[in-house]
Amino acid sequence: MTVADFMGAALGHPEYGYYMTRDPFGVDGDFTTAPEISQMFGELIGLWMVNCWQEMGAPDRVHLVELGPGRGTLMADMLRAAKRLPAFLDAAKVTLVEMSPTLSTVQERTLEEHDINWCSSVDALPSDAPLLVAGNEFFDAIPIRQFRMTESGWREILIAIGPENDDLQPVLAPGSGPAIALIDPSLSNAAIGTTAEIAPASWDIADRLARRIAEQRGAALFIDYGYDGPATGDTLQALRKHKPVPVTYEPGQSDITAHVDFTALRRVFSEAGLNASPTATQGAFLQALGIDMRARTLLQSASPQQAKDIASARDRLIRDDGMGKLFKVIGVRHPDQPPLAGLEPQTDRDPI
């Protein structure tokens, strides 16, 4: 099977898929995301959403959407920060796009004080009001396809049963693969042995979401680890208990992800009629939104241990040796929406 088929089954199989059977987040899980590190992350994104709503004229109704909402921690922090403007909370109708029954149950507990709707895909999002969408570490879990340049051209990497009949291993497809150089012309002269990745499933989701925003108005924010393409290399990885394991080891028991090509995503959004921001690092974005000021506010009432934890979390989120450089941010908006705070030059506008 293709790497995409393997990744999709390992993560999303209804009975055995990784995300369908467990809560993988936090210290006791397999990995930790930014919302689990500090409330500051979600609070700043919540205020970013409030700012977008104000800039679009503060409509009476707007759909606040999160793609792949994990435990619901990010949304909880966003809504708590948004209490600073009660009119936004009155207008915002929250929808979580989630395929996992296990995680939906966790989200329901986390957000029990709020009126939440769930759906399983962007196609099922409400269509009666503008959309404000957040996706943190969403696209990295969408299946990718991999190819390797050989003497006979590009061949797709497949996952096959090994000779002992009890293990899985990557192999090359017997025939030449699709002309991926047509998708990315920079790959036409790649050296033999080069690995390249494409993400058609991510592009399809981005296109469908973009067309909804183009029709309904609104904006979206995506934060993930990745790069500005074009680039080559094998970025597929698996984690269990915060440690790397082989991608094919015990499918369904480990988190499998790949780095996100933000240039390709930006192209999809732009072709669908949206304005896409340049890629920013997470560190620069959070600093532009005021994470230092928020940290100082929290420190005022913190115990010595809490102060140490706040400073450590801030550093982990924004420093180059933490998440600050590896994680990237793009924002997309309807052409009628003003420039996005922290991502595009602002003209005569107050900070959030």
CA within 13 Å, CB half, 92:
30
Of 276, 263, 264, 272, the closest CA to residue 333 belongs to 276
Instruction: Region of 258 please: left (phi>0), alpha (psi -120 to 50) or beta.
Output: beta
Q: What is the pLDDT of residues 51-108, one digit of tens each?
A: 999 999 999 999 999 999 999 999 999 999 999 999 999 999 999 999 999 999 999 9
Q: Do the strands 260-261 and 243-245 form a parallel or antiparallel pair, or are they unpaired?
A: unpaired
Domains and CATH numbers, the chain: 11-142+200-243+251-291+318-333 (3.40.50.150), 146-189 (no CATH)
Q: What is the pLDDT of residues 280-322, one digit of tens each?
A: 999 999 999 999 999 999 999 999 999 999 999 999 999 999 9
Of 208, 207, 210, 183, the closest CA to residue 197 belongs to 183
pLDDT, position 175: 73
Q: Is the pTM of this model over 0.85?
A: yes
Q: What is the pLDDT of residues 156-187, one digit of tens each?
A: 999 998 776 568 889 999 876 666 655 676 77
d(CA 178, CA 153): 10
CB atoms within 10 A of CB 303: 8
pLDDT mean across residues, the chain: 92
Q: Is 344 exposed, middle or buried (0-12, 13-18, 19+ CB in 10 A)?
A: middle
Q: What is the pLDDT of residues 243-261, one digit of tens each?
A: 999 999 899 999 999 999 9
